[in-house]
């Protein structure tokens, strides 16, 4: 097996980077993997010192590296996470045709790279699959569910992978968002595993372009591509400590997983969309019946408003 390149995005959290880098280095496949680190520039003067600390930690990591190679890109200006991810992934995926992606707060299991590469190889010709998730929240699976992986319409941003043909031509500018206004089925799929997705996508049209993930997720849904999820997570997110731009301390409990359950030799299977698993995912990423009703009403209002415009 040839191993996919790994891309890591870092900003101003040296401790988070070091923990993630060290854990990633412990994956046996690291020795045969090329690592690309994209370091964003400081947004404010007060962040410059922390950015410098991260870059020093990256340089120190290079000296003790277990990777086949490490390439570092240091942006002189602050691009923001979304622009950094879009540009960085595009650059690497153009060269290799596939990519594994981490942010600096995604601590992986020692089996993470093995799982990701196996999925990239197994599903590369399957046009029902558009991306691979490394993170899975703790879900109450039914006793009848015995598989090591499952499939969902919700994409993942906490340790993930994809192929060039699935990344190309994403509608980053949302010029084609009207497809969703005209299609209740597209909205249903986008919200199939959490009632937050369509509203988050719509917010991007108001100048809030901070979420590359929901735009990529909408692209997958438009093409009817699913995401492969592991039954047990290969990623522990350590960023929900209010230390990052998008992190909230109150999210820490819901993001917590037991990495010791990660499976070394995962059994992959053909694509099957299981309605019960979809409902379990949706319940986890939604906020109860009242929230569902409020968001459903909000979606209806948005669609009606935008249809009138058109």
- Give 287's pLDDT tier (boundaries 50, 70, 90): confident
Structural domain harbouring 285: 6-309
- Give strand ranges (E) for 176-277: 226-230, 235-237
Domain count, the chain: 1
Query: For 209-263, how does the pLDDT look when each residue is reduced to its tens digit (9 = 90+)?
Result: 689 999 999 999 999 999 999 999 999 999 865 454 544 545 556 678 999 999 9
Phi and psi, residue 285, nearest 5°: -95, 5
More confident residue, 103 or 241: 103
* Residue 178 covered by a domain: yes
Query: For 138-156, how does the pLDDT look when each residue is reduced to its tens digit (9 = 90+)?
Result: 999 999 999 999 999 999 9
Helices (H), 64-111: 81-96
* Residue 226 covered by a domain: yes
Task: Over range 9-17, report the average pLDDT.
Answer: 97
* Residue 131 covered by a domain: yes
Q: What is the CATH number of the domain that holds 256?
A: 3.90.550.10
Query: For 24-77, how does the pLDDT look when each residue is reduced to its tens digit (9 = 90+)?
Result: 999 999 999 999 999 999 999 999 999 999 999 999 999 988 899 999 999 999
> How much is the pLDDT for 35?
98
What is d(CA 172, CA 69) in angstroms, rounded to the nearest whole number?
A: 30
* Residue 101 covered by a domain: yes
> How much is the pLDDT for 290?
65
* Residue 1 covered by a domain: no
Report the candidate in 231, 59, 65, 234 with the shortest Cα–Cα distance to residue 161: 234
pTM above 0.85, yes or no: yes
* Residue 50 covered by a domain: yes
Contact by Cβ (8 Å): 6, 33: yes
What is d(CA 256, CA 282) in angstroms, rounded to the nearest whole number?
A: 18
């Amino acid at each position: 097996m040839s191993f996919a390149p790994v891309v890591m995005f870092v900003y101003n959290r040296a401790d988070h980077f070091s923990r993630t880098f060290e854990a990633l280095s412990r994956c046996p496949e690291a020795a045969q993997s090329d690592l690309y680190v994209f370091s964003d520039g400081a947004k404010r003067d007060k962040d410059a010192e922390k950015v410098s600390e991260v870059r020093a930690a990256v340089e120190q990591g290079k000296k003790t590296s277990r990777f086949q190679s490490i390439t570092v890109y240091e942006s002189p200006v602050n691009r923001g996470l979304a622009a950094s991810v879009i540009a960085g992934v595009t650059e690497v995926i153009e060269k290799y045709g596939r990519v594994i992606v981490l942010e600096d707060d995604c601590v992986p299991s020692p089996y993470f790279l093995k799982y990701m590469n196996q999925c990239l190889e197994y599903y590369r010709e399957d046009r029902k699959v558009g991306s691979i998730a490394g993170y899975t929240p703790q879900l109450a699976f039914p006793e009848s569910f015995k598989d090591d992986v499952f499939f969902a319409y919700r994409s993942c941003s906490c340790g993930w992978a994809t192929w060039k043909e699935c990344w190309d031509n994403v509608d980053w500018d949302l010029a084609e968002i009207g497809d969703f206004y005209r299609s209740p089925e597209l909205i249903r799929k986008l919200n199939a595993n959490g009632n937050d997705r369509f509203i988050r996508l719509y917010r991007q049209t108001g100048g809030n372009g901070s979420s590359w993930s929901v735009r990529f997720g909408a692209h997958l849904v438009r093409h009817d591509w699913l995401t492969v999820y592991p039954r047990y997570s290969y990623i522990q997110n350590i960023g929900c400590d209010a230390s990052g731009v998008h992190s909230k301390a109150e999210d820490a409990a819901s993001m917590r997983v037991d990495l010791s359950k990660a499976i070394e030799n995962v059994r992959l299977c053909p694509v099957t969309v299981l309605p019960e698993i979809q409902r379990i995912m949706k319940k986890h990423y939604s906020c109860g019946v009242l929230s569902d009703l409020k968001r459903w009403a909000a979606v209806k209002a948005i669609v009606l408003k935008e249809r009138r415009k058109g």
